[in-house]
Amino acid sequence: MITTTPVWAIVATAGEVPAPDRDDLRRSLELAAGGRSDRILLATCHRVELYGTGPIPTTALPVLTDSRAVEHLLRVAAGLESAVRGEDEVLHQVRGALAGARLDRRVDGSLVRLFETAIAAGRKSRSGRHVQAPGLADRAVAWLAERFGLAGKPVLVVGAGPVGLALARAVRRHGAELTVASRHGRMVHGVPALDLEQAAHRAPAMAATAVALAGPWAAANQLPPTVDLSSPTAVSPTARARLGPDFLGIDDLFKDGGAAPRGYVELAETVVLSKTAEYLAWSGARV
């Protein structure tokens, strides 16, 4: 059965849907978006969400409609739904979702306005902030540093994408001796990188490992204390079981959210309510 509403959102987050299932869901919702002008997919480390107008696809997932869908996206862009409230990366991801949708098709004006309003809400929420919220990479490396100490110790970062770069920067800030690896062993940001086989061989001699890969790291069996920000998790179930409490995964960070900069939440919630009303007034005037 298909129902219709002006704006809707199909929502799956790390709090309800584990990482492997979210990856399957992302592929399913990519097909549902399918280059349509009336749908935009937002996929991040901790959430997979499909926004649309018109007919709602049949789904067992939570569906938000009208003002609830609008407010939810604005809260996401403002970082109020993030593992680290007020973090910046999600705003770039909302902006990227809109830009990606517009690359290959003409997007419905209501969705364009919705995402532009969300981006504006995210920017305004952060404009009065004096202290930047830590990102996931900062929190992951801090977890390693608090438990095992990193200063002067060898740490392996596996991954050459934006999250891998953020992990490498965080590791350096903690004074560790950095080694980097990528899937193909090429240069990573000007630093010679190991490939995944070499990294798996070197890992046992490291004080800690931080991983951010778009796919499994099958060769990694004997690991030191490890954080894995891959979604889905790159480290195998066997290796995770062997690590026990010395392993931190992407969904663990969602469950244990970090504090936002002082006063941020109150300001952001005020901005979100104001911008939600602004969008709904604009939408109502079009009817």
Q: Which residues carry out catalysis?
A: 45
Task: Identify how many contiguous H helices and E strands the chain contains and give both numbers.
Answer: 10, 9
Q: In what order do the strands lie in the sheet with 247-249?
A: 177-181, 154-158, 208-211, 226-228, 247-249
The pairing of strands 154-158 and 208-211 is parallel
The pairing of strands 63-65 and 39-43 is unpaired
Q: Report the SS3 class of residue 238.
A: helix
Is residue 18 within 8 A of residue 122, CB to CB? The reply is no
CA separation for the pair 83, 89 (Å, rounded): 11
Kindly report the backbone phi and psi dihedral angles of residue 205, in degrees, each rounded to the nearest multiple of 5, phi listed first: -85, -5
Q: Any residues with CB less than 8 A from the CB of 188 and at least 6 apart, and which?
A: 160, 164, 165, 168, 180, 181, 182
